[in-house]
Amino acid sequence: MSEISERIVADLLFARTGQQLTEARRWRIQTALAGLFRERGIANIDQLVCMLAEPRESGLAQDVVEALLNNETYFFRDRLMFDLLAREVLPDLAAKRADTKRLAIWSAGCSTGQEALSLAMLFADQPERWAGWKVDILGTDISGKAVAAARRGVYSQFEIQRGLGVTQMLRWFDEGAHGWTPHAELSRRVRFDRRNVLDEPPHPGRFDLVLCRNVLLYFERANRMRAFDHLARATADDGWLMIGAGETASGQTTAFAPACDTSGLYRRIAPDTAPQPAWPERASAG
Protein backbone atom coordinates (compact mmCIF):
# COMPACT_ATOMS: atom_id res chain seq x y z
CA MET A 1 0.00 0.00 0.00
CA SER A 2 2.75 2.50 0.92
CA GLU A 3 4.26 2.21 -2.52
CA ILE A 4 0.91 3.08 -4.14
CA SER A 5 0.43 5.93 -1.65
CA GLU A 6 3.89 7.28 -2.48
CA ARG A 7 2.99 7.23 -6.15
CA ILE A 8 -0.27 9.09 -5.46
CA VAL A 9 1.65 11.77 -3.54
CA ALA A 10 4.28 12.01 -6.32
CA ASP A 11 1.46 12.36 -8.89
CA LEU A 12 -0.08 15.16 -6.83
CA LEU A 13 3.22 17.06 -6.81
CA PHE A 14 3.62 16.53 -10.56
CA ALA A 15 0.07 17.66 -11.35
CA ARG A 16 0.39 20.87 -9.33
CA THR A 17 3.99 21.88 -10.08
CA GLY A 18 5.44 19.79 -12.91
CA GLN A 19 8.14 18.57 -10.46
CA GLN A 20 8.87 14.87 -10.90
CA LEU A 21 9.62 12.56 -8.01
CA THR A 22 10.98 9.54 -9.83
CA GLU A 23 11.06 6.24 -7.97
CA ALA A 24 14.75 6.77 -7.21
CA ARG A 25 13.88 10.00 -5.34
CA ARG A 26 10.73 8.82 -3.54
CA TRP A 27 12.76 8.35 -0.34
CA ARG A 28 12.44 12.15 0.00
CA ILE A 29 8.72 11.88 0.66
CA GLN A 30 8.94 10.49 4.19
CA THR A 31 11.61 13.00 5.24
CA ALA A 32 9.86 15.98 3.63
CA LEU A 33 6.46 15.13 5.12
CA ALA A 34 7.70 14.29 8.64
CA GLY A 35 6.90 17.81 9.96
CA LEU A 36 3.42 17.81 8.43
CA PHE A 37 2.70 14.35 9.88
CA ARG A 38 3.73 15.59 13.34
CA GLU A 39 1.67 18.81 13.06
CA ARG A 40 -1.47 17.02 11.91
CA GLY A 41 -1.05 13.81 13.91
CA ILE A 42 -0.88 11.69 10.75
CA ALA A 43 0.53 8.21 11.39
CA ASN A 44 1.79 7.34 7.93
CA ILE A 45 1.53 7.99 4.20
CA ASP A 46 -1.41 5.60 3.75
CA GLN A 47 -3.45 7.59 6.27
CA LEU A 48 -2.42 10.79 4.51
CA VAL A 49 -3.71 9.49 1.16
CA CYS A 50 -7.08 8.55 2.76
CA MET A 51 -7.32 12.04 4.27
CA LEU A 52 -6.57 13.67 0.89
CA ALA A 53 -9.82 12.19 -0.41
CA GLU A 54 -11.89 13.87 2.35
CA PRO A 55 -13.62 17.10 1.25
CA ARG A 56 -13.04 18.76 4.65
CA GLU A 57 -9.27 18.37 4.17
CA SER A 58 -9.25 20.60 1.08
CA GLY A 59 -6.14 22.54 2.18
CA LEU A 60 -4.14 19.40 2.92
CA ALA A 61 -3.10 18.72 -0.69
CA GLN A 62 -1.49 22.15 -0.97
CA ASP A 63 0.33 21.64 2.36
CA VAL A 64 1.68 18.34 1.03
CA VAL A 65 2.88 20.00 -2.17
CA GLU A 66 4.51 22.84 -0.23
CA ALA A 67 6.32 20.36 2.01
CA LEU A 68 7.62 18.38 -0.97
CA LEU A 69 9.00 21.36 -2.89
CA ASN A 70 12.73 21.79 -2.58
CA ASN A 71 13.23 25.44 -1.54
CA GLU A 72 16.99 25.22 -1.08
CA THR A 73 18.59 28.61 -1.78
CA TYR A 74 21.11 31.04 -0.38
CA PHE A 75 22.60 34.44 -1.14
CA PHE A 76 24.87 34.57 -4.22
CA ARG A 77 24.39 30.84 -4.84
CA ASP A 78 27.10 29.79 -7.30
CA ARG A 79 28.91 33.08 -6.89
CA LEU A 80 30.74 32.71 -10.20
CA MET A 81 27.40 33.12 -11.95
CA PHE A 82 26.83 36.44 -10.17
CA ASP A 83 30.37 37.51 -11.12
CA LEU A 84 29.44 36.73 -14.72
CA LEU A 85 26.30 38.86 -14.42
CA ALA A 86 28.31 41.76 -12.99
CA ARG A 87 31.10 41.42 -15.56
CA GLU A 88 29.23 40.55 -18.79
CA VAL A 89 25.50 40.97 -18.55
CA LEU A 90 24.92 44.18 -16.59
CA PRO A 91 27.45 46.25 -18.62
CA ASP A 92 25.81 44.98 -21.83
CA LEU A 93 22.35 45.94 -20.56
CA ALA A 94 23.61 49.28 -19.25
CA ALA A 95 24.76 50.13 -22.78
CA LYS A 96 21.61 48.83 -24.50
CA ARG A 97 19.18 50.58 -22.15
CA ALA A 98 21.17 53.82 -21.70
CA ASP A 99 18.34 55.83 -23.29
CA THR A 100 15.52 54.62 -21.02
CA LYS A 101 17.59 53.83 -17.91
CA ARG A 102 15.10 51.09 -17.04
CA LEU A 103 15.79 47.43 -16.39
CA ALA A 104 13.38 44.61 -15.62
CA ILE A 105 14.64 41.33 -14.19
CA TRP A 106 12.67 38.17 -13.42
CA SER A 107 13.84 35.58 -10.91
CA ALA A 108 11.56 32.62 -11.71
CA GLY A 109 11.56 30.05 -8.89
CA CYS A 110 13.01 32.56 -6.44
CA SER A 111 12.23 30.53 -3.32
CA THR A 112 12.53 32.73 -0.20
CA GLY A 113 14.02 35.72 -2.02
CA GLN A 114 17.78 35.43 -1.60
CA GLU A 115 18.38 35.29 -5.37
CA ALA A 116 16.40 38.48 -6.03
CA LEU A 117 18.13 40.28 -3.14
CA SER A 118 21.55 39.14 -4.40
CA LEU A 119 20.69 40.75 -7.74
CA ALA A 120 19.60 43.92 -5.95
CA MET A 121 22.99 43.98 -4.17
CA LEU A 122 24.80 43.94 -7.54
CA PHE A 123 23.12 47.27 -8.31
CA ALA A 124 23.35 48.73 -4.80
CA ASP A 125 27.10 47.98 -4.73
CA GLN A 126 27.60 50.38 -7.69
CA PRO A 127 25.54 53.46 -6.73
CA GLU A 128 27.27 55.82 -9.15
CA ARG A 129 26.91 53.58 -12.15
CA TRP A 130 23.19 52.99 -11.53
CA ALA A 131 22.23 56.48 -10.32
CA GLY A 132 19.01 57.57 -12.06
CA TRP A 133 18.15 54.01 -13.19
CA LYS A 134 14.87 52.28 -12.39
CA VAL A 135 15.61 48.62 -11.76
CA ASP A 136 12.64 46.28 -11.08
CA ILE A 137 13.35 42.76 -9.90
CA LEU A 138 10.35 40.43 -9.85
CA GLY A 139 10.76 37.21 -7.87
CA THR A 140 8.14 34.50 -8.41
CA ASP A 141 7.66 31.03 -7.01
CA ILE A 142 4.93 28.41 -7.01
CA SER A 143 5.28 27.96 -3.24
CA GLY A 144 2.95 30.25 -1.30
CA LYS A 145 5.06 29.74 1.82
CA ALA A 146 8.28 30.68 0.04
CA VAL A 147 6.69 33.80 -1.47
CA ALA A 148 5.29 34.83 1.94
CA ALA A 149 8.77 34.46 3.46
CA ALA A 150 10.32 36.44 0.60
CA ARG A 151 7.78 39.22 1.11
CA ARG A 152 8.39 39.22 4.85
CA GLY A 153 12.11 39.48 4.17
CA VAL A 154 13.35 38.47 7.61
CA TYR A 155 16.34 36.13 7.52
CA SER A 156 17.68 34.05 10.41
CA GLN A 157 21.32 34.15 11.46
CA PHE A 158 21.85 30.87 9.60
CA GLU A 159 20.21 32.15 6.41
CA ILE A 160 21.99 35.52 6.39
CA GLN A 161 25.40 33.91 6.76
CA ARG A 162 24.87 31.52 3.85
CA GLY A 163 26.58 33.20 0.92
CA LEU A 164 27.10 36.65 2.46
CA GLY A 165 30.37 37.88 3.92
CA VAL A 166 30.24 39.90 7.15
CA THR A 167 30.89 43.17 5.31
CA GLN A 168 28.03 42.65 2.89
CA MET A 169 25.74 41.44 5.66
CA LEU A 170 26.36 44.52 7.81
CA ARG A 171 26.27 46.88 4.85
CA TRP A 172 22.89 45.79 3.45
CA PHE A 173 20.96 44.24 6.36
CA ASP A 174 19.84 45.34 9.81
CA GLU A 175 19.52 42.96 12.72
CA GLY A 176 16.17 43.09 14.52
CA ALA A 177 14.44 41.07 17.20
CA HIS A 178 13.30 38.43 14.69
CA GLY A 179 16.24 38.34 12.31
CA TRP A 180 17.96 40.29 9.56
CA THR A 181 16.02 42.56 7.20
CA PRO A 182 17.29 44.19 3.98
CA HIS A 183 17.80 47.94 3.74
CA ALA A 184 15.26 49.91 1.69
CA GLU A 185 18.02 50.31 -0.92
CA LEU A 186 17.52 46.60 -1.72
CA SER A 187 13.85 46.03 -0.89
CA ARG A 188 12.59 48.94 -2.99
CA ARG A 189 13.89 47.15 -6.08
CA VAL A 190 12.33 43.73 -5.42
CA ARG A 191 8.79 42.42 -5.31
CA PHE A 192 7.43 38.91 -5.05
CA ASP A 193 4.49 37.04 -6.53
CA ARG A 194 3.17 33.51 -6.55
CA ARG A 195 3.36 32.03 -10.03
CA ASN A 196 3.84 28.70 -11.78
CA VAL A 197 6.55 28.87 -14.43
CA LEU A 198 4.40 26.48 -16.50
CA ASP A 199 1.63 29.10 -16.68
CA GLU A 200 1.65 31.98 -19.13
CA PRO A 201 4.65 34.26 -18.46
CA PRO A 202 4.23 37.69 -16.87
CA HIS A 203 4.73 40.76 -19.10
CA PRO A 204 5.77 39.09 -22.40
CA GLY A 205 8.99 40.44 -23.89
CA ARG A 206 9.58 42.82 -21.06
CA PHE A 207 12.42 41.27 -19.08
CA ASP A 208 15.99 42.20 -19.93
CA LEU A 209 17.33 39.38 -17.79
CA VAL A 210 15.58 36.22 -16.62
CA LEU A 211 16.98 33.83 -14.02
CA CYS A 212 15.46 30.39 -13.61
CA ARG A 213 18.05 28.48 -11.64
CA ASN A 214 17.70 25.05 -10.12
CA VAL A 215 14.00 24.87 -10.96
CA LEU A 216 13.89 22.97 -14.27
CA LEU A 217 16.05 20.11 -12.97
CA TYR A 218 13.13 17.89 -11.99
CA PHE A 219 10.78 18.67 -14.87
CA GLU A 220 10.35 15.96 -17.48
CA ARG A 221 11.20 16.92 -21.04
CA ALA A 222 7.81 18.22 -22.20
CA ASN A 223 7.40 20.52 -19.17
CA ARG A 224 11.01 21.68 -19.40
CA MET A 225 10.47 22.69 -23.04
CA ARG A 226 7.23 24.39 -22.08
CA ALA A 227 9.02 26.33 -19.32
CA PHE A 228 11.77 27.38 -21.77
CA ASP A 229 9.06 28.55 -24.16
CA HIS A 230 7.58 30.74 -21.41
CA LEU A 231 10.97 32.06 -20.33
CA ALA A 232 11.72 32.93 -23.96
CA ARG A 233 8.45 34.78 -24.38
CA ALA A 234 9.13 36.78 -21.23
CA THR A 235 12.63 37.79 -22.35
CA ALA A 236 13.33 40.86 -24.50
CA ASP A 237 14.66 40.00 -27.97
CA ASP A 238 18.12 41.20 -26.95
CA GLY A 239 17.89 39.90 -23.39
CA TRP A 240 19.64 37.22 -21.34
CA LEU A 241 18.73 34.00 -19.56
CA MET A 242 20.58 32.41 -16.67
CA ILE A 243 19.78 28.86 -15.56
CA GLY A 244 21.53 26.76 -12.91
CA ALA A 245 25.22 26.00 -13.23
CA GLY A 246 24.41 22.29 -13.62
CA GLU A 247 21.53 22.80 -16.07
CA THR A 248 21.50 23.12 -19.85
CA ALA A 249 19.14 24.61 -22.41
CA SER A 250 20.73 22.74 -25.27
CA GLY A 251 18.34 20.43 -27.07
CA GLN A 252 15.39 21.92 -25.17
CA THR A 253 14.89 25.26 -26.89
CA THR A 254 16.00 27.13 -29.97
CA ALA A 255 15.13 30.50 -28.45
CA PHE A 256 18.41 30.85 -26.53
CA ALA A 257 22.04 30.37 -27.51
CA PRO A 258 24.92 29.76 -25.07
CA ALA A 259 26.59 33.09 -24.31
CA CYS A 260 30.03 31.80 -23.40
CA ASP A 261 31.92 28.71 -22.33
CA THR A 262 30.47 28.95 -18.84
CA SER A 263 27.35 26.86 -18.75
CA GLY A 264 24.14 28.49 -17.52
CA LEU A 265 24.27 31.83 -19.36
CA TYR A 266 22.32 32.28 -22.60
CA ARG A 267 21.38 35.07 -24.99
CA ARG A 268 17.88 35.31 -26.42
CA ILE A 269 17.74 34.66 -30.14
CA ALA A 270 15.17 37.01 -31.68
CA PRO A 271 12.10 34.97 -32.77
CA ASP A 272 12.42 35.73 -36.50
CA THR A 273 15.98 34.37 -36.57
CA ALA A 274 15.39 31.26 -34.45
CA PRO A 275 14.74 27.96 -36.25
CA GLN A 276 11.27 26.66 -35.40
CA PRO A 277 11.38 23.77 -32.92
CA ALA A 278 9.31 20.64 -33.23
CA TRP A 279 7.54 21.02 -29.87
CA PRO A 280 6.38 17.82 -28.25
CA GLU A 281 2.79 17.51 -27.11
CA ARG A 282 2.31 19.99 -24.24
CA ALA A 283 1.85 18.41 -20.85
CA SER A 284 -0.67 19.82 -18.42
CA ALA A 285 0.59 21.86 -15.46
CA GLY A 286 -2.33 20.61 -13.43
Ligand X SMILES: C[S@@+](CC[C@H](N)C(=O)[O-])C[C@H]1O[C@@H](n2cnc3c(N)ncnc32)[C@H](O)[C@@H]1O
Which string of b and e fits 212-231 if b means at least 16 CB within 10 Å?
A: bbbbbebbeeebbbbbbbbb
Q: Three-state SS across 168-179?
A: HHHHHEEECCCC
Using rule CB under 6 A, residue 226 touches ligand X:
no
Terminal C-alpha separation, the chain: 25
By the rule CB under 6 A, 118 interacts with ligand X:
no
Q: Check residue 201 for interaction with ligand X (CB under 6 A).
A: no
Contacts (CB under 6 A) with ligand X, residues 34-73: 69-73
Q: In angstroms, what is the minimal distance from the CB of 41 to ligand X?
A: 26
Q: Which of 16, 268 has the CB closer to ligand X?
A: 16
20 is a contact residue toward ligand X (CB under 6 A): no
Virtual CA dihedral for 181, 231, 227, 198, nearest 10 degrees? 60
**Residue 150 contacts ligand X per CB under 6 A:** no
Question: Do the Cβ atoms of 244 and 189 come closer than 8 Å?
Answer: no
3-state secondary structure 52-105: HCCHHHCCHHHHHHHHHCCCCCCCCCCHHHHHHHHHHHHHHHHHHCCCCCEEEE
With CB under 6 A as the contact rule, which of the stretches 14-22, 87-95, 201-209, 255-263 interacts with ligand X?
14-22
| Residue 99 in the binding site for ligand X (CB under 6 A) | no
**Residue from 84, 104, 106, 111 in contact with ligand X (CB under 6 A):** 111
Site membership for ligand X, residue 197 (CB under 6 A): yes
Q: Does 235 bind ligand X (CB under 6 A)?
A: no
Residue 19 contacts ligand X per CB under 6 A: yes
Number of residues that bind ligand X (CB under 6 A): 23
Give the residue with the Cβ less far from ligand X, 54 or 72: 72
Q: Which is nearer to ligand X, 39 or 193 (CB)?
A: 193
Output the smallest distance, CB 213 to ligand X, in A: 4
195 within 8 A of 167, measured Cβ to Cβ: no
Contact by Cβ (8 Å): 211, 247: no
Nearest approach, Cβ of residue 145 and ligand X (Å): 9
Footprint of ligand X (CB under 6 A):
17-19, 69-73, 77, 109-111, 115, 141-143, 146, 196-198, 213-215
